[in-house]
Amino acid sequence: MSALTVVVVHPDLLGTYGDGGNGVVLAQRARWRGIETELVDATSDLPLPTGDLYCLGGGEDAAQTASAERLREEGTLERAVGQGAVLLAVCAGYQIVGRSFPAADGRPLSGLGLLDVTTTKGRGRRAVGEILAEPLDEGLPVLTGFENHGGLTTRGPTTAPLARVTAGVGNGDGTEGARSGRVVGTYLHGPVLARNPGFADLLISWATGRVLHALDDAEEAALRKERIAAVRAGRAGGTVRYAPGPS
């Protein structure tokens, strides 16, 4: 048995934005440290396997609903998280692990309740574009990514946001993502861990309990520098903001 099992959940349903890349980044960064790692693509036609670190990605409305129903019926993910597994949920996946999220017609559907957040349909246009957010703990450097969603997400009183938005939309109230224990949700898709290797290492250290030595992240550093500069100079393009609702 491997020291670390990374499970990409339902890549056939929730893999719209290259989200499978998060699993690749986690597995490679663990392997490069000599941690024996298995990467499992867990398609929705088979029972969800047990693992140490789960990744959920983004998807279209119908696929998001199908994945949520399957996960709720099965209960494997909730059990794994209850037993200490780490979960990174991105975009549609972030909405699924909350208390409820909107169907294509806006009707609320039950999520898995692993994060105390509720998502409703945003008014106006989708939030599409580069996003920058300052993490609120763990000493991570600024998070850089791309968002593409139409949801407004509000947190319950005891759930902390992951970060504070400095460019882009995020949850819609100036915060981005949510965290509760070892469950993290974020609107940064794309895959977020490729642009934020420190975030990837944080998840690996939670899942393995190990202190990780630094890697030579020259390529990531060059990409981060370029994207952060482009957003700060207003050259990134494509950012569309909808009017945030009262929250």
Partner 1 sequence: MTTGRLPVRARAAVAATRAVNALSRRLGAGSGSVAGGHVGLALDPRLLERLAAGRRVALVSGTNGKTTTTRLLAVAVGGALGRAATNATGSNMPAGHVTALAGAPPGAPAVLEVDEGYLPHLVASLAPETVVLLNLSRDQLDRTNEVRMVAGKWRAALSEAQAPSTTVVANADDPIVAWAAQRAAHPVWVGAGLPWRQDAVGCPACEGRIAFAAGATGEEGGWRCTCGFARPRLDVRLDGDCVVTADGRRLDLALALPGRFNRANAVMATAAAVTAGVDWDDALRRIADVDEVAGRFAVVEVAGCAARVMLAKNPAGWGELLDLVCPGDRAVVVGINARLADGRDPSWLWDVPFERLRGRTVVATGERCRDLSVRLRYAEVPHRTVRDQVAAVRAAWMAARGPVDFVGNYTAFTDLLARTTRTGA
The residues carrying an active-site annotation are: 91, 189
Window contacting partner 1 (CB under 8 A); options: 78-86, 110-118, 161-169, 235-243: 235-243
Nearest to 20 by CA among 10, 35, 30, 32: 10
Instruction: Name the one residue in this structure whose structure tokens are 């009707």.
Output: 107
Task: Please state, in angstroms and as integers, the Cα–Cα distance from residue 141 to each residue in 121, 166, 224, 228, following that order.
Answer: 30, 13, 10, 11
Window contacting partner 1 (CB under 8 A); options: 62-70, 113-121, 160-168, 170-178: 62-70
Q: Which residues in the 35-54 window bind partner 1 by CB under 8 A?
A: 44-45
Pick between residue 155 and residue 220 the one whose CB is nearest to partner 1: 220
Q: Does 134 bind partner 1 (CB under 8 A)?
A: no
Q: Does 222 bind partner 1 (CB under 8 A)?
A: yes
Strand order in the sheet with 117-121: 108-110, 100-102, 117-121, 151-155
Pick between residue 44 and residue 180 the one whose CB is nearest to partner 1: 44
Window contacting partner 1 (CB under 8 A); options: 46-54, 75-83, 155-163, 189-197: 189-197
3-state DSSP assignment of residue 164: strand
Q: Does 244 bind partner 1 (CB under 8 A)?
A: no
* Sequence-ordered list of residues with C-beta below 8 angstroms from that of 128, at least 6 positions apart, any chain: 147, 148, 238, 239, 240
Report in angstroms how near the CB of residue 180 gets to partner 1 at its nearest: 26
Nearest to 42 by CA among 72, 78, 18, 76: 76
> Which of 3, 12, 78, 103 touches partner 1 by CB under 8 A?
12
> Which of 134, 219, 229, 232 touches partner 1 by CB under 8 A?
219
Nearest to 202 by CA among 211, 194, 191: 211
Phi, psi of 182 (to 5 degrees): -100, 20
Residues of this chain that interact with partner 1 (CB under 8 A) are 11-13, 15-21, 24-25, 28, 44-45, 60-63, 65-66, 126, 128-129, 146, 148, 189-191, 194-195, 219-220, 222-223, 226-227, 236-238
